[in-house]
Amino acid sequence: MSIRILLPVVAAGLLLGCAGTVPDPVRTAPDEAPSLAQVRADGASAHDGERVRWGGEIVEVRNEADATWLEIVERPLRRGGEPRDADRTEGRFLARVDGFLEPTLYAPGRQFTVSGSLDGTVKGAIGEYAYTYPVVAVQAHHLWQEPADPKRTTPRSYRYDPWYDPWYGDPWCRHPGYPYYYGPYRRPYW
């Protein structure tokens, strides 16, 4: 097989492999979907049945007999559907997912995007404040990867330091200030 044919086939396979992890309704926004601010201003009954793609940060997870309810603080979405780490929101909404979702995975603080249709409202409270939540009947959803914890990363090796000099400390004789120096041959010199 020619390299001119093989290279595009491999590239297409890699792109399809990456694209398959996030459901298509989560990646692409529906045409003329109302924002959470529009739904809250107009009332959810004016938009019942309309398709939306909303996402944000999970605040609470409640499992019931036939569905899981997630309270989500809305965040603006990136082009691919991932919530931005922004200090702005249009409010909160409830996502109703058929079946069971593991609360330890879908935990408060995780980023979550849903695609589905609006299905009325539920009255609730945030602390003492009365709040009306728009409800999304979820058809597709995606739980985003947690960002890496900088405390859990391994320390950087001196070998990849841009100022690293393998000859510093003279590997052929003992250097009194560096008794554990291994030099370029990766073995002790004593």
Q: Where are the domains of the chain?
A: 24-143, 154-190
CATH 3.90.420.10 fits 24-143, yes or no: no
Query: pLDDT tens, position by position, for the chain (190 residues)?
Result: 566 665 555 555 554 444 448 889 899 888 889 999 999 988 877 889 999 999 999 999 999 999 999 999 999 999 999 999 888 999 999 999 999 999 999 999 999 999 999 999 999 999 999 999 999 999 999 999 987 666 655 555 545 556 656 555 555 555 555 544 445 554 454 4
Give 14's strand partners. Answer: none
Distance CA 73, CA 54 (A): 10
Q: Which 8-state DSSP code applies to residue 77?
A: B
Kindly tell me the burial class for residue 129, based on how many C-beta atoms sit within 10 Å of its own C-beta (0-12, 13-18, 19 or more). exposed
Residue 33 is classified by DSSP as: P
Contacts 24+ apart (CB under 8 A), 84-90: 89/56, 90/35, 90/36, 90/37, 90/40
Enter the tokens of residue 163. Answer: 């100022």
CB 95 within 8 A of CB 114: yes
b/e map 44-66, b = 16+ CB within 10 Å:
beebeeebbbbbbbbeebebeee
